[in-house]
Structure 1
Amino acid sequence: MSLELVINLVASFLAFLIGWMARTLLSYYRSTRPVARLWQVNRHAPVTAVVGDHGEGRLLWEADALAAMNVRLSLARELKIHSIKTVRASAFSMAAHAEDNVVVIGGPAMNQVWNIYADRLDIPYEFKKVDDLYRIVAREGDESFGGTRGREGGVKQDSGLVIFAWNPFEPGNRLIMMAGCGELATLAAPSTFSPEYARKIAQRFDMSKPLALVLSVEDVNDYVAKPKIAAWAYFPQPTVD
């Protein structure tokens, strides 16, 4: 093999390696890094997603199940976390799962685990039932966010709440809570963890602080636009050294 051929082969290999590294770094900074900043999962602890169920037959709500699937896809695709356990609220075991990285999907009406964690946090927003519909209301002030039950001109609107916090039972692990006043916002909430949306959130907010986001979601003739941030607030959470 001639020296010139060896040099060409080495140069080609180096060019390939540099290109691969550049693409990998670009993907990391554009996709993996912002998503990781939102999740901040402790990789040494399990991840458990809790979905709402309701009624004597413990019906699993379709919106919660689909949202859980999207959560699993986000963790697997962007963070390469594949061992994610999904349990129904009625089967959630405090002894087995309370200290995990916990993802609560579905609000207090359908998921009793929401209140278990919310009662131990100073979340600035809460769900309240008003005239047979749930709304997200500020604990201080008069802010209130809801949705429309039916469609007017093919348009349906809903509001959702996403909480980024630390697990109060094990502060080294992550707690994410997401729910909508209706199913539309519950389905849309996991989109905040898409690389594009996560990048915008990570640039705008200090993700080292517990954060509550109120989302506004619109369905126009079955086209669901990306949720918009209608309100937000940091909240204090004691940490254990």
Structure 2
Amino acid sequence: MSHDLLVNLVASFLAFLFGWLTRNLFAYYRSSRPVARLWQINRRTPVTAVVGSAGERAALWESDALAAMSLRQGLARHLQIHTVTTIRSAAFNMASHAEENIVLIGGPAMNEVWQTFADRLNAPYRFRMSGNSYRIEAREGDGSFGKLRGPDGVVKDHALVILARNPFEPRSRLIMMAGCHFLATMAAPDIFSPSYARELNRRFDMSKPLALVLAVEDVGGYMPKPVIVAHAHFTQPPHA
């Protein structure tokens, strides 16, 4: 009797272990793996998020802070990375942080660090001042994207997201994301959700640097998932 009981206990434990492993492997391939392929984090170096400086004030721009919070939560949930340093661009120190995994949130209007990295990428899209606001423009062709309000009151904004190698340390990752206005900046981190990450991995070769232009709508306070309206792979200049 004791032998049969032991056999049953062992069989039950093995069945439980098999089920646990199966569930976790499924969760990894369904959620964590696509997100990891987007991030391509160098786990040997820290992750530093650089948000825009709100002029002379000590406070952060709310949209930048919310985007940084969303990214931190995603890294902790899907990649088990629980330490992400968030600093204002005015306090960013190249000597201390330049070779880390860098996440830039907020464009050149408020984030002084944006242009430092953008100048070393030769990305196919960039921010350009047009009138009193910034627009996202293609370096070649006539592609141009900004904020607009439709006759039905729906507001549409656009964000630029760049996934590349850190030009100062190619083993580390560089993520750049910013909207023409705050609406798109807040929505840009949605691309790192598991469902969006799976879509991007199916559509694009994530081993190559990639620039995405996202369209984001505000429909009476509801924001649908961002839509990719322009995209291009690009070749980074050689690391100096």
The alignment's TM-score, normalised by the length of structure 2, stands at: 0.96
In structure 2, what is the equivalent of residue 93 of structure 1?
A: 93
In structure 2, what is the equivalent of residue 237 of structure 1?
A: 236
Gaps of 5+ in 2: none
Distance between the aligned counterparts of 1:137 and 1:239, measured in 2? 24
AA aligned opposite 2:154: V
| Residues 52 and 110, structure 1, Cα contact 8 Å, conserved in 2 | yes
In structure 2, what is the equivalent of residue 141 of structure 1?
A: 141
Distance between the aligned counterparts of 1:10 and 1:239, measured in 2? 57
In structure 1, what is the equivalent of residue 205 of structure 2?
A: 206
Q: Which moved more, 1:56-65 or 1:83-92?
A: 56-65
Gaps of 5+ in 1: none
* Alignment: residue pair count: 240
AA aligned opposite 1:133: S
The alpha-carbon deviation at position 240 of structure 1 amounts to 5.2
Distance between the aligned counterparts of 1:229 and 1:55, measured in 2? 31
Q: Which moved more, 1:118-127 or 1:52-61?
A: 52-61
| Percent identity between the two aligned chains | 63
Partner of 2:208, secondary structure, is coil
In structure 2, what is the equivalent of residue 62 of structure 1?
A: 62
Matches within 5 A, 1:105-144: 105-144=105-144
In structure 2, what is the equivalent of residue 153 of structure 1?
A: 152
| Residues 101 and 172, structure 2, Cα contact 8 Å, conserved in 1 | yes
In structure 2, what is the equivalent of residue 18 of structure 1?
A: 18
Partner of 1:224, secondary structure, is coil
In structure 1, what is the equivalent of residue 46 of structure 2?
A: 46
Q: Which moved more, 1:42-51 or 1:231-240?
A: 231-240
AA aligned opposite 2:125: Y
| Residues 58 and 90, structure 1, Cα contact 8 Å, conserved in 2 | no
AA aligned opposite 2:175: I
Could you list the per-position Cα deviations for residues 182-218 of structure 1 after superposition, in whole angstroms to 9, with x for gaps in the alignment?
Answer: 1111000001000110111011111110000000111
Q: CA RMSD in A?
A: 1.5
Distance between the aligned counterparts of 1:21 and 1:87, measured in 2? 38
The alignment's TM-score, normalised by the length of structure 1, stands at: 0.96
| Residues 167 and 239, structure 2, Cα contact 8 Å, conserved in 1 | no
Distance between the aligned counterparts of 1:60 and 1:15, measured in 2? 51
